[in-house]
Every structure is written in C-alpha cells, then in structure tokens.
Amino acid sequence: MPRCVTICAVGSVDKSILEHLAECISARCGLTCKISLRMESPEYAYNQTRCQYNSKLILKHLLRQYPSDTLRFIGVTPADLYVPILKFVFGLAQIEGQYSIISLHRLYPQFYDQPSNPDLFLVRLEKTALHELGHTFGLTHCRDRRCVMYSSTRMEDTDFKHPDFCLTCFALFRWHLEKALDQNPV
C-alpha cells in the first residue's frame, strides 16, 4: 500500500483546490498526496426532500468503487452534504478507516452572504480536510476550541479554530500514522 493520501474530486471541483489541499496535507502531516481522476457527481446520494446529498451513501459508494491501494482517501465535492440526524455536515469520515468526504458548498463565504474571499475559503478547506483526515487516523473530537479536531457544528467554530492539531492531537495523529504505516509497509 503506498504511503500517500489520494485526493479525488467527486463531481466538478477546480484542480487548483485539489492541488492546494495536497500541499496543505503534505506540509502539515508529512504525507505524500496524489490527485486522482475525477469521479462522477454523487447523484445516487441526492435526497430530493432535503435538496442535499447523503454523505453516508457517498462514503459507502467510495468503499465499493474506489481501490484501496492508498493509505487514506479524501473525496472533495461541491455537493451540500448531510447525515440523517443533522441539517448538514462539512465532511464525514470513517473513524480509523480509509475514506472521507468533504463538501465545499458551505465553505465559501458567499454561502453566508459575505463577499468572496478566496483566502478564507482555502483556510476553511484546510481545516475541514485535516479534521476529517484526523478522524481516519482514529482521532475523536478535541475539547480545545482552537484545535482542528474541535467539532464544527457552525462555520464560526471552523473559523475560530487553528488549521493545526493541538499538541495532544498531533501526538495521537503521529502515533496512529506510524501504526498505520507499520501495518502497511511499502
């Protein structure tokens, strides 16, 4: 199994967004990233009543459709995601699993009737991706409101936290990463 994170557009996503995400993960986590070919838009997960996409169905689809020859997989979609018990989610991941999905939909300042701000959008993207990646390595939500692993139920939570793990979460992340690499040598 390669020691890399695969990043894949699920639907139409600008390649520069994927490239930025790859650079972020590489810099902050020390992991090599590769960008995969785009997957189709997740119409199979669309809920007409909610006008949103069920993130759990997308994860199940990724599990069935995408090869597991990568250390971790991050799907990036423009679709507005939800889980049945919540109004929306910024992303979803398997705890200690390979797959995660993040949504760009609510990360844009324009969603909140604010002016376009590409820098703010990219910082939100980084925080969301690192948070979901942390879950795939076994991290749960942190009590430190500044840690990237703090639960974001509102955009204000995401904006308040740092785009990094706190010292405790980073140590746990590194431990889980080493464990995963030991189990899957090159």
121-151 pLDDT, tens digit each: 999 999 999 999 999 999 999 999 999 999 9
Number of helices (H) and strands (E) in the chain: give both, helices first.
5, 8
pLDDT above 90 for 116: yes
**What are the structural domains, with CATH classification, of the chain?**
4-183 (3.40.390.10)
Instruction: Give yes or no: 132 in active site.
Output: yes
22-70 pLDDT, tens digit each: 999 999 999 999 999 999 999 999 999 999 999 999 999 988 877 667 8
HEC profile of 79-130: CCEECCCCCCECEEECCCCCEEEEECCCCCHHHHCCCCCHHHHHHHHHHHHH
DSSP 45: G
Q: How far apart (Å, rounded) are the C-alpha atoms in residues 71 and 59?
A: 16
Half-sphere exposure of 116 (CA within 13 A, CB side): 1
59-107 pLDDT, tens digit each: 999 888 776 678 999 999 999 999 999 999 999 998 999 999 999 999 9
pLDDT at residue 67, as a whole number: 65
pLDDT above 70 for 184: no
Mean pLDDT of the chain: 94
Catalytic residue among 19, 23, 43, 132: 132
pLDDT at residue 132, as a whole number: 98
pLDDT at residue 81, as a whole number: 98
In Å, the largest CA–CA distance within the chain is 47
Q: How far apart (Å, rounded) are the C-alpha atoms in residues 173 and 63?
A: 23
